Structure 1
């Protein structure tokens, strides 16, 4: 809709003001914004026709997260194997990364928990701690940690 709004604004400027838009720019803008509108409409239509379901649940034995179309963010772990919930952030030459929140396991694996879909990490922590009181959750962001990669 925004791209179509830009096209309408272009025609409005040409019609109601003395400003003349170069013909090459006019043609390129109309074609580019029209194509962008079509592509974005198709993407929205595809997502409506192919809905995905995010699911996160905690039972007395496991924490399970099923993230649509992403195996790397989907996991099932035993609550007894969770050491703590923590926030992580890396630093690189481009600056700070986004803060990742997840479950750190006793074997040092880290499972990221998406904060999309209305997830509340504090409520998840309270539920986990009611099952396993040894689980901790520091509100500080950890910037110094070792990444363990499974082979």
Structure 2
């Protein structure tokens, strides 16, 4: 174990703490897994850890799963689980700025339809699966033909 600055990510199946050394963290990463395996919690831990270490964090969160990081608190369940992992849970709110394409509930941003992309646009328009598929095809054709939407 090294004394280098690191982020606590969780623990392995055998109870060993898993840490990410800050000097080994690069600009890209992936957190993948099946539903219910802890991806959102892992991302929240990472975002909070990086922010606490003074690293600016930007999360593109279309579904809003990570928005809870902006609120102080926690639950007894989280505190209990954290204690079992040897992790101290502070329950403080992270400094958060929400960017809002509509400019109504957050920091307004300017973007073209092409910039928004089919996934976010489908979420904004509350499209069903079929409609989202058609929209994705339209974006693909526009990209292929060099057209701006």
Which has the greater radius of gyration? 1
TM-score between both structures, scaled by the size of structure 1: 0.23
Higher strand share: 1
Which has the higher relative contact order, 1 or 2, with Cα contacts under 8 A spaced 6 or more apart?
Answer: 1
TM-score between both structures, scaled by the size of structure 2: 0.23
